[in-house]
């Protein structure tokens, strides 16, 4: 019986499908599957001790945890040109170190998407793992209002393609090209929304590691989004644009990280020194410099004295007057001591940003009350018009009745029996 069981186990291993394990999947999911696997082993042991050749499931589904014998490469997942079959390319909208991004319309649903395609074949190259890392990160993080949404990924001709939500543009670079810089309310708006995105990423025990202007995108909407984030005290979101974090190619775990250094202009000094103790605070450092760029600062240095001055806590020169409270917040966000920088959770509740959020919420309430007042006036006018119409109809009906009655009274009365033949009887005595 043991020999048969061994053969069955070998057969199961051979039939196990080879799939990649997403390293960014929350540990709780693995824990759940591990517990199920443990219970399955216990049931199998109990069945053996009873001398019965029973299936371990006892009516329960088999364990779904799939541990592949080897990792699936991009070559093995190649397929026919899904890109050409399913999408119509409209235009190229961006290009970076990894590849190019195209604005496409999906033939089936008619919706617009952004398709990112690697510049060169990745199979067997150093960039292959980085490409898979971005897919893994998108798959885990792509369902938040302040993270660019992920839809699908596949390989063609050894090139990786990632289908994401289409965003209008990267907000800061667009404004910079037009020589228009964010005002203070807009800077607070940007800071608050991106902090909310980072709060979500960090809550998944992951870090972005490449926050910079070109990785912050905007999704324009004409409908205010007043739905609060879970755990946030305020109920405000911009009624102009929604800011979204994109390009997840450098995402890594907080524990046992595999750090790929991002843009040196936004890189915290402790990361350069390979001190990964407070990795989420590196995202906070980069976010502060991103806001500084949005405020109109000169292009940040890639190295040199000014680079080191920034890492010592000195803000770059900003060519517009900002409140001291906002400058103080940005300054603490680039503190040389990572522990002193606020967390993303603290940022979304910070008084500087909360005051701006509440002010915007108050403005929305004022506009809503004004619309309600206008609606109330219209309702009153409508009611008056309806009452006037009803009164006019009543008067018209009354006049008709009076006219009819008057006509009836003016006619001569008809004697009953006037035209009837009468019988005359004579009595003769």
Report d(CA 127, CA 119) in Å as an integer. 11
Task: Establish whether 93 is an annotated binding residue.
Answer: yes
215 labeled binding residue: yes
Strands 216-220 and 169-170: antiparallel
Q: From CA 112, how far away is CA 105, in angstroms rounded?
A: 4
Return phi, psi of residue 169, to 5°.
-175, 170
Phi, psi dihedrals of residue 306, rounded to the nearest 5°: -65, -35
If 0-12 CB within 10 Å is exposed, 13-18 middle and 19+ buried, where does residue 215 land?
A: buried
102 marked as binding residue: no
Q: Which helix (H) or strand (E) holds 169?
A: strand 169-170
* Size of the chain in residues: 429
Structure tokens belonging to residue 1: 């019986």
Chain position carrying tokens 């450092």: 285
Residue 130 and residue 140 in contact, taking contact as beta carbons nearer than 8 Å: no
189 known ligand binder? no
78, β-bridge pairs: 155
Exposed / middle / buried, residue 192 (Cβ in 10 Å: 0-12, 13-18, 19+): buried
Residue 103 marked as a ligand binder: no
Question: Tokens 């004004």 label which residue?
Answer: 370
249 labelled ligand-binding: no
Closest Cα partner for 338 from 295, 248, 289, 277? 277
> Is 262 assigned a ligand-binding role in the annotation?
no
Cα distance between residue 321 and residue 236, in whole Å: 25
Q: Could you write out the DSSP letters of every residue in 353-379? A: HHHHHHHHHHHHHHHHHHHHHHHHHHH
Q: Is 11 labelled a binding residue?
A: no
Instruction: Name, in order, each residue with C-beta under 8 angstroms of 57's C-beta and a sequence gap of 6 or more.
Output: 40, 43
In the structure encoding, which two tokens stand for residue 413, read together? 């009365």
Q: Is 100 annotated as a binding residue?
A: yes
Cα distance between residue 43 and residue 33, in whole Å = 15
β-strand partners of 155: 78, 160
Q: Which residues are catalytic?
A: 210
Contact 159, 327 (CB under 8 A): no
Confirm whether residue 95 is marked as ligand binding: yes
Rg (CA), the chain: 37
Q: Is 94 annotated as a binding residue?
A: yes
369 is in an annotated binding site: no
Q: Which residues define the annotated binding site for ATP?
A: 93-101, 116
Q: Which residues define the annotated binding site?
A: 93-101, 116, 215, 247
Q: Which residues define the annotated binding site for Mg(2+)?
A: 215, 247
């Amino acid at each position: 019986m043991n020999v048969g069981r061994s053969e069955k186990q070998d057969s199961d291993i051979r039939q196990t499908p080879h799939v990649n394990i997403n390293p960014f999947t929350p540990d709780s999911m693995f824990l759940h599957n591990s517990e199920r696997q443990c219970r399955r082993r216990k049931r199998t042991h109990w069945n053996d001790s009873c001398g019965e050749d029973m299936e371990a499931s006892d009516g329960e589904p088999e364990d779904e945890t799939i541990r592949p014998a080897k990792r699936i490469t991009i070559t093995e997942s190649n397929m026919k040109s899904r890109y050409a079959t399913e999408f119509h390319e409209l235009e190229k909208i961006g290009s970076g170190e990894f590849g190019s991004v195209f604005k496409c319309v999906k033939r089936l649903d008619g919706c617009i998407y952004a398709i990112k395609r690697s510049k060169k074949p990745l199979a067997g190259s150093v960039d292959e793992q980085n490409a898979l890392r971005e897919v893994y990160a998108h798959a885990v993080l792509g369902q938040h209002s302040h993270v660019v949404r992920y839809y699908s990924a596949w390989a063609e001709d050894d090139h990786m393609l990632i289908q994401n939500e289409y965003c209008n543009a990267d907000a800061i670079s667009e404004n910079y090209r037009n020589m228009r810089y964010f005002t203070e309310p807009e800077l607070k708006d940007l800071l608050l929304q991106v902090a909310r995105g980072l709060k979500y990423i960090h809550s998944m025990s992951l870090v972005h590691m490449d926050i910079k202007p070109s990785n912050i995108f905007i999704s324009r909407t004409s409908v205010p989004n007043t739905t609060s984030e879970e755990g946030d005290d305020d109920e405000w979101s911009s009624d102009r644009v929604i800011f979204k974090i994109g390009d997840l190619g450098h995402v890594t775990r907080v524990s046992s990280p595999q750090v790929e250094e991002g843009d040196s202009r936004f890189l915290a000094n402790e990361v350069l020194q390979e001190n990964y103790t407070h990795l989420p605070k590196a995202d906070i450092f980069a976010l502060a410099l991103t806001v500084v760029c949005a405020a109109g600062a000169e292009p940040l240095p890639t190295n040199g004295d000014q680079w080191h001055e920034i890492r010592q806590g000195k803000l770059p020169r900003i060519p517009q007057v900002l409140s001291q409270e906002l400058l103080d917040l940005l300054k603490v966000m680039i503190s040389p001591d990572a522990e002193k920088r606020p967390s993303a959770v603290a940022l979304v509740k910070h008084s500087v940003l909360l005051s701006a959020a509440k002010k915007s919420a108050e403005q929305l309430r004022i506009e809503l009350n004004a619309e309600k007042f206008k609606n109330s006036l219209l309702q009153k006018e409508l009611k008056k018009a309806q009452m006037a119409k009803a009164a006019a109809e009543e008067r018209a009906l009354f006049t008709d009745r009076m006219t009819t009655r008057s006509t009836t009274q003016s006619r001569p009365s008809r004697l009953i029996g006037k035209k009837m033949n009468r019988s005359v009887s004579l009595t003769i005595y």
